[in-house]
Amino acid sequence: MAEPSLARLSALFFGFLLLLATYSWVPRLHSGLLSGTGVQKTLGPDPKLRVDHSSAKPHHPLDPLTVQEIERVRTILLDHEPGFGSGSATIHSMALDEPDKTLVVKWKKGNRLPSRRAEVLALSVGQSHVIVVDLDSGRVVSDVVNPTSGYPILTMDDLIVASQVALKSIEFNRSVEARGVKLSDLVALPTFTGWFGPEEEGRRILKVQCFTSQDTPNYFMRPIEGLYATVDMDKLEVIKIVDKGMVPIPKAAGTEYRYNVQNKPVHMDRINPISIEQPEGPSFLVEDGHLVKWANWVFHVKADHRAGIIISQATVRDSETGEPRSVMYKGFPSELFVPYMDPGELWYYKSYLDAGEIGLGPAAMPLVPLNDCPRNAYYIDGVFALPDGKAIVQPNMICLFERYAGDVSWRHSEILIPNADVCPFTTRKQIRESRPKVTLVARMATSVGNYDYTFDWEFQSDGLIRVTVAASGMLMVKGTPYENVDDLGDKEDDSGPLISENVIGVVHDHFITFHLDMDIDGPMNNSFVKVHLEKQRVQSGKSPRKSYLKVKKYVAKTEKDAQIKLSLYDPYEFHIVNPNRKSRLGNPAGYRIIPGGNAVSLLDHDDPPQIRGAFSNNQIWVTRYNRSEQFAGGVLVYQSHGDDTLQVWSDRDRSIENNDIVLWYTLGFHHIPCQEDYPVMPTVAASFELKPANFFESNPVIGVAPIFEKDLPVCRPFASS
Amino acid sequence: MAEPSLARLSALFFGFLLLLATYSWVPRLHSGLLSGTGVQKTLGPDPKLRVDHSSAKPHHPLDPLTVQEIERVRTILLDHEPGFGSGSATIHSMALDEPDKTLVVKWKKGNRLPSRRAEVLALSVGQSHVIVVDLDSGRVVSDVVNPTSGYPILTMDDLIVASQVALKSIEFNRSVEARGVKLSDLVALPTFTGWFGPEEEGRRILKVQCFTSQDTPNYFMRPIEGLYATVDMDKLEVIKIVDKGMVPIPKAAGTEYRYNVQNKPVHMDRINPISIEQPEGPSFLVEDGHLVKWANWVFHVKADHRAGIIISQATVRDSETGEPRSVMYKGFPSELFVPYMDPGELWYYKSYLDAGEIGLGPAAMPLVPLNDCPRNAYYIDGVFALPDGKAIVQPNMICLFERYAGDVSWRHSEILIPNADVCPFTTRKQIRESRPKVTLVARMATSVGNYDYTFDWEFQSDGLIRVTVAASGMLMVKGTPYENVDDLGDKEDDSGPLISENVIGVVHDHFITFHLDMDIDGPMNNSFVKVHLEKQRVQSGKSPRKSYLKVKKYVAKTEKDAQIKLSLYDPYEFHIVNPNRKSRLGNPAGYRIIPGGNAVSLLDHDDPPQIRGAFSNNQIWVTRYNRSEQFAGGVLVYQSHGDDTLQVWSDRDRSIENNDIVLWYTLGFHHIPCQEDYPVMPTVAASFELKPANFFESNPVIGVAPIFEKDLPVCRPFASS
């Protein structure tokens, strides 16, 4: 139903990205640095050695679809359903349909790739389609219509259309103009509507709210409060306008954040230039565009339309034998859930599921060199499909860099304690040993509308993987007549604090749920062990102590045993172990998940947003591996009813002992905004860790070298060189 | 009662430190780089510009005692109590008795210093003394005997003596020799005995346990299990020997950790040299040895015998006016509590209070340049008193450095959403703004026997202070006859997992309690506000939503209102605000404490270790300022009964609203050891943050510049230069 002009607009939209990006796609097509011979190549971390997307071929079973493959899928789809040509059917996402795990695990470099397939989420005449296309046979192998509730991920076209439709409404225009906003300043921003019952069923809708960009690029801080239009995306018409009356529009002054335009004095002394320097170059290799090798780690990294960044087949070398050992088959941010805390008519629906509703990939703008990633970074592009099936390159979407922050990997200082008859000072030496911590980071940053999320996968040579989510960008704020808290009093409808004149920072939560398909020493034979610290009381007279903690282990039998609510007062460690792989001492090889940045969703379980975001009901879950259970909010998330979530899968209560299992973990933030979050929020970060626990026979970095002065670079200020 | 030879031994002990240190004291005495003119000087961050301790004078009311001042206190004390000369009285710690806060706050550079006083913890004929010496008048102004239960902090001499006394026992020697350990390999390690009731009252005792250093410097991994001697430190005699029979001594193989001696192959690719480089030099100034100025921060930093590192008078410039604004008057690690989880006769007493029992200062060995701190670090020494009152310099005890880890201070990417009638692509621009995060770190690392703790105070230009505690070093392990978990079965007395043959890693906790004297915009008029996120149910039919969270604020009236047990399921923010300093919008200026790394002590409240470590009963406390309430476990901690703890003070329930108040926060770790912790533990770190909340009018770093390539250094590998 989309008008033909939309495809053009969309291409323009993405094309615009390219023009602004540091490395644009078209020039690289002709640069010929690594022109397409089809032969596997080793890309070093030299940022100039980049993939030629015009000819790139997949080299690994998990490599994302290439530009050529996407074009081929498009051709196959046009045969299958001519509506894809006429615009009556649209492609909402297209990604590699990964081969079965057994095939991927068996595959070795040099082998023929397992058959390449694409999974396409599409919409045709209001129906959701999940289509699998086989590239080798050139056929559609399945086309399932409406497998669950919900619609496919939105496209940028959807947003453009919703905005256009709203602005075609005379009534809506009148409401805007009544507020004294010029249409040339208006930003009509479509927002995801959630799902609140039967009234909204059977049609795709978006809600369009408005901002003014008069005198600022930071229109988010200038909401036109009290107004939105609900747009029917099938009929392309406004079906409801809510206008609750005028609310003062907050001022533009103080909202600017662009460096070149800023003129606010900074009351601080200059910080001299500082840089992470590696004059011999980075230590990692990127083979065939996606396979990263560093220190004792090998993993596959790729950009993804929905998850933004996916890490696969992370393997670490054994510290005793050097053999590569599987740690994690696949890890990625599976869904985000961001409920706002205002039940009013204008705000109640704001409860976003960003990964499944809009996708982290298309919203991941090119990283800003030197600032989003340090100087020693290497960049990887994303390749996606447009609604008409054409390929588009998102440049510099992921960066890889080695991180040294002055931290210590391990240390010990020792003065040997003397004995009376053996003077220690003459014969023994003081010991001061310390080792620097250098890590490898794979980073992706995405701007989902107002919010910016940065995802870091950080690998340590001691076997630890740290995942960090950092949030910045703009708050979603609410206009208010009040300019001072004294005017507000004890207003009942207060949904958050006043953070600038006429601006309320609405309280909200963020929950980021990770899919962590841990395969400790292989895909099968993994178990989830709850390691409980149980308080024991000592029998009177048995010890001068009255109490202590004792470790007791419980192996989870089924999925319900592994629905974990963390408690400070009932502490557990949580291990994934391979009971068939024992250490020299007989301990099963394992990894722990170390939670961090926890906040719990306190919404009622029968509240519609919480039903859809039910994957946030527990902080940890373990499910039996099922290739279709990747996205915690379901495959079709937009307006979904919550019938295809992690909660639903886990409630099946399948056996998870000594099996192929998947760990799920949710990082959470409560956010009560404050003045400092205006007009852009300082970054807030939280991490969790996957840490070896009896995986290695002993500390695997005990033999690593310290830093010596002789190895460090000689630097001089740029200006004087 | 100490023999004269002990003073010599002790001097040797510290002297040994000096010889091994990178910068030793004696050479600097003659280096004349900044020879003592008594005039205030500005030390830049050039590491060659160091204090001349022979002539150093205090320049700031909070500057620690200088070498000259310590010598003067000694002279005054000798007059007061000749026992200090004969060895019948010993100095256990000597530190600046800080002037009253009102005097310090009023003081300005150029003013005369408030009178300099020293607080001395001493022991004389078995009695504890808290002595205050006035340096200006040359008098002892107070000498309080046994103000509370407990003895002063132990000295290194105490440890040496205890070891000597134990080894003079024929019975003890026989027990050692029966185990086939040569005395030349023996390490007799005195450990703190805790306090377990009347039986241990009225005399100072230490318990001496044994290890062998045969074929390894890592004697901690070779415990001689089943044996200890209790030593009476007054009578200098063994009063009890516990010998529970022979346990195999774990092997030496695999315990070595010194780089020069290591020969274990490392199964990982080389990591190229990496460094934080600032070719124009660091951006901070260190004035008069202790006053640090960086970006928008000024603070005073000093080494301390007990706390290791103290930050004082942290002030940040206002982002609107540039005026300096008080944030924190004083912050430091006030006490550590490390209970082990084994109630058996040989282990029950292990429940250490490291700051008050031995002190973090003397255990802080010189930092290892390039490894403990990065290349761009500047070092500060500690100055302490020996048991005979003589001064000793602990070189390179604190480092200051600017930290850049590739992280982002804030970011936003923006594609302005198009409107139907206004093509955005021709008139508007994509925005990609990102700013690097550069911070200033003040670091101290201390090796309290087996464990190494690193303390970081990290300052961000957005006003945030992050405090990180990192733990590394050796586990306190227990010998066991078992070599494999299959031998262990379901042993009832299992106090932890098997982490090497014959080695049990005993489960334990770490609690580190910080004293945070927050003075938001001045010492008075501060309040503690609990900002509650309360779940609200929506009345049926009022909204499609059923629930949301609402912010409600509670100002704590008294100390008991501020005894905080954190809960994921009942979330609060915790703010210190100055209700008399309002922002433009009318919000009170405030800082939040953001907890992190929480673990709760689950020991029974009536268990002796928990009575003494009662400051870990809550994660957050707020008390009314009282200059005598600095150390959460009390002034006299050794063998104390828990009658002078934060719990006791807080239970007085004083008014804390709109007053001078102190925030206390406890970082906690449960530690279940694993194989990777053997033979040295990889660093485990946890942080909490103090973050502005309506302190600034808006984001204070919005105007900070990005990194430009033109400002970055040109580096080449050292080898080729």
User: How does pLDDT run across B297-308, given as a tens digit for each residue?
Assistant: 999 999 999 999
Q: Is B268 within 8 Å of A295 when comparing Cβ atoms?
A: yes
Q: Which amino acid is at B387?
A: P
Geometric angle at alpha carbon B231, from B391 and B125, rounded to 5°: 55
Q: Which of B354, B381, B509, B677 is catalytic?
A: B354
Task: Compute the average pLDDT of residues A233-262.
Answer: 94
Q: Which amino acid is at A125?
A: V
Task: Compute the average pLDDT of residues A567-590.
Answer: 97
- CB contacts, 8 Å: A474 with chain B: 412
Burial of B492 (0-12, 13-18, 19+ CB in 10 A): exposed
Which SS3 state, helix, strand or coil, does residue A298 take? strand
- How many Å apart are CA A339 and CA A603, to the nearest integer? 9
- Contact indicator for B268, A295 with CB cutoff of 8 Å: yes
Which residue on chain A is closest to B217 by alpha carbon? A416
User: How does pLDDT run across A169-228, given as a tens digit for each residue?
Assistant: 999 999 999 999 998 899 999 999 999 988 888 899 999 999 999 999 999 999 999 999
* A-interface mutation test, from B220, B414, B490, most A Cβ less than 10 A away: B414
Which helix (H) or strand (E) covers residue B170, if one does?
helix B170-178
Which residue on chain A is closest to B351 by alpha carbon? A545
Nearest Cα residue to A448 out of B419, B413, B411: B413
Taking only Cα atoms into account, the Rg of chain B, rounded to an integer number of angstroms, comes to 27
User: Residue B42 has what pLDDT?
Assistant: 39
User: How does pLDDT run across A654-663, given as a tens digit for each residue?
Assistant: 999 999 999 9
Nearest Cα residue to B15 out of B7, B252, B562, B221: B7
> And the tokens for B496?
């932890």
- CB contacts, 8 Å: B432 with chain A: 20, 365-366, 368
User: Residue B278 has what pLDDT?
Assistant: 92
User: How does pLDDT run across B49-85, given as a tens digit for each residue?
Assistant: 678 999 999 999 999 999 999 999 999 999 999 999 9
> And the tokens for B429?
């621009």
- How many Å apart are CA A623 and CA A608, to the nearest integer? 24
Which helix (H) or strand (E) covers residue A482, if one does?
none
Which pLDDT band holds residue A416 (cuts at 50, 70, 90)? Answer: low
- How many Å apart are CA A445 and CA A363, to the nearest integer? 9
- How many Å apart are CA A37 and CA A573, to the nearest integer? 50
User: Residue B198 has what pLDDT?
Assistant: 85
Q: Range with the lowest mean pLDDT among A561-565, A646-650, B81-85, B696-700?
A: B81-85
- How many Å apart are CA B430 and CA A18, to the nearest integer? 10
Geometric angle at alpha carbon A28, from A26 and A34, rounded to 5°: 145
Please name the member of A366, A417, A497 whose beta carbon is closest to the beta carbon of B163. A417
Q: Which residues of A570-580 are buried (b: 16+ CB within 10 A; e: fewer)?
A: ebbbbbbbbbe
- Domains, chain A, in order of start with CATH, read 4-145 (3.10.450.40), 156-243 (3.10.450.40), 313-380+441-701 (2.70.98.20)
Q: Which residues of A599-630 are buried (b: 16+ CB within 10 A; e: fewer)?
A: bbbbbbeebbbbbbbbbbbbbbbbbbbeeebb
* A-interface mutation test, from B210, B293, B431, B549, most A Cβ less than 10 A away: B549
Nearest Cα residue to A191 out of B417, B557, B433: B417
- Which residues on neighbouring strands pair with residue A488, listed in sequence order? none
Nearest Cα residue to A89 out of A73, A97, A78, A105: A78
User: How does pLDDT run across B708-720, given as a tens digit for each residue?
Assistant: 999 898 998 875 5
Task: Compute the average pLDDT of residues A80-102.
Answer: 95
Tally the C-alpha atoms within 13 A of residue A242's C-alpha that lie toward its C-beta: 16
- Contact indicator for A386, A91 with CB cutoff of 8 Å: yes
User: How does pLDDT run across A129-159, given as a tens digit for each residue?
Assistant: 999 999 999 999 999 999 999 999 999 899 9
Which pLDDT band holds residue A25 (cuts at 50, 70, 90)? Answer: very low
CA quadruple A197, A199, A204, A206: dihedral sign: negative
Q: Which amino acid is at A590?
A: G
- Measured between alpha carbons, how far is residue B695 from residues B328, B438, B523, B554, B589 in Å? 13, 21, 15, 19, 4
User: How does pLDDT run across B355-369, given as a tens digit for each residue?
Assistant: 999 999 999 989 999
User: How does pLDDT run across B485-536, given as a tens digit for each residue?
Assistant: 998 876 656 799 999 999 999 999 999 999 999 999 999 999 999 999 999 9
Q: Which of A451, A453, A638, A678 is catalytic?
A: A451
Count CB-CB contacts under 10 A for residue B4: 10
Please name the member of A344, A544, A674 whose beta carbon is closest to the beta carbon of B543. A344
- How many Å apart are CA A203 and CA A230, to the nearest integer? 11
Which pLDDT band holds residue B40 (cuts at 50, 70, 90)? Answer: very low
User: Residue B46 has what pLDDT?
Assistant: 58
- Measured between alpha carbons, how far is residue A30 from residues A26, A55, A58, A187, A380 in Å? 7, 11, 20, 37, 18
Is it the case that residue A37 has pLDDT exceeding 50? Answer: no
Is it the case that residue B10 has pLDDT exceeding 60? Answer: no
Which pLDDT band holds residue A47 (cuts at 50, 70, 90)? Answer: low
Q: What is the DSSP letter of A571?
A: -
With tokens 């390929």, the residue in question is: A391
Helix, strand, coil shares, percent, chain A, to 5: 15, 40, 45
Q: What is the crossing angle of helices B4-20 and B156-168, to 10°? A: 120
Is it the case that residue B421 has pLDDT exceeding 50? Answer: no
Please name the member of B343, B425, B568 whose beta carbon is closest to the beta carbon of A16. B425
Taking only Cα atoms into account, the Rg of chain A, rounded to an integer number of angstroms, comes to 27
Listing DSSP states for A10-63 in one string gives HHHHHHHHHHHSSS-HHHHHHH-TT-------EE-S-TT----TTT----STTP
Q: Which of A157, A318, A354, A509 is catalytic?
A: A354
Which residue on chain B is closest to A672 by alpha carbon? B551
The ipTM is 0.93
> And the tokens for B164?
């000597």
> And the tokens for B580?
């008399």
> And the tokens for A363?
């919203």
Nearest Cα residue to B220 out of B446, B476, B453, B447: B476
With tokens 């001061």, the residue in question is: A432
Please name the member of B271, B496, B501 whose beta carbon is closest to the beta carbon of A438. B271
The proportion of chain B whose per-residue pLDDT surpasses 90, expressed as a percent, equals 83
Q: Is A676 within 8 Å of B692 when comparing Cβ atoms?
A: yes
Average pLDDT, chain B: 90
User: How does pLDDT run across B187-217, given as a tens digit for each residue?
Assistant: 999 999 999 988 888 899 999 999 999 999 9
Is it the case that residue A351 has pLDDT exceeding 60? Answer: yes
Q: What are phi and psi of B23, to 5 degrees?
A: -110, 120
- How many Å apart are CA B517 and CA B625, to the nearest integer? 8
Look up A451 and say whether it is catalytic: yes
- CB contacts, 8 Å: B259 with chain A: 433, 705-706
Burial of B248 (0-12, 13-18, 19+ CB in 10 A): middle
Q: Is A411 within 8 Å of B683 when comparing Cβ atoms?
A: yes
Is it the case that residue B597 has pLDDT exceeding 80? Answer: no
Cis previous bond, A279, omega within 30: no
Query: B320 to chain A nearest CA, in Å?
Result: 7
Q: What's the distance, Cα to Cα, between the start and end of chain B in Å?
A: 60
- CB contacts, 8 Å: B408 with chain A: 371-372, 445, 454, 470, 472, 683
Which pLDDT band holds residue B91 (cuts at 50, 70, 90)? Answer: very high
Q: Which of B151, B349, B352, B451 is catalytic?
A: B451
With tokens 């909202």, the residue in question is: A255
- Contact indicator for B514, B333 with CB cutoff of 8 Å: yes
- Contact indicator for B272, A711 with CB cutoff of 8 Å: no
Which pLDDT band holds residue B284 (cuts at 50, 70, 90)? Answer: very high
Which helix (H) or strand (E) covers residue B36, if one does?
none
User: Residue B492 has what pLDDT?
Assistant: 58
Query: B64 to chain A nearest CA, in Å?
Result: 25
Is it the case that residue A22 has pLDDT exceeding 60? Answer: no
Q: Is B546 within 8 Å of A587 when comparing Cβ atoms?
A: no
User: Residue A719 has what pLDDT?
Assistant: 58
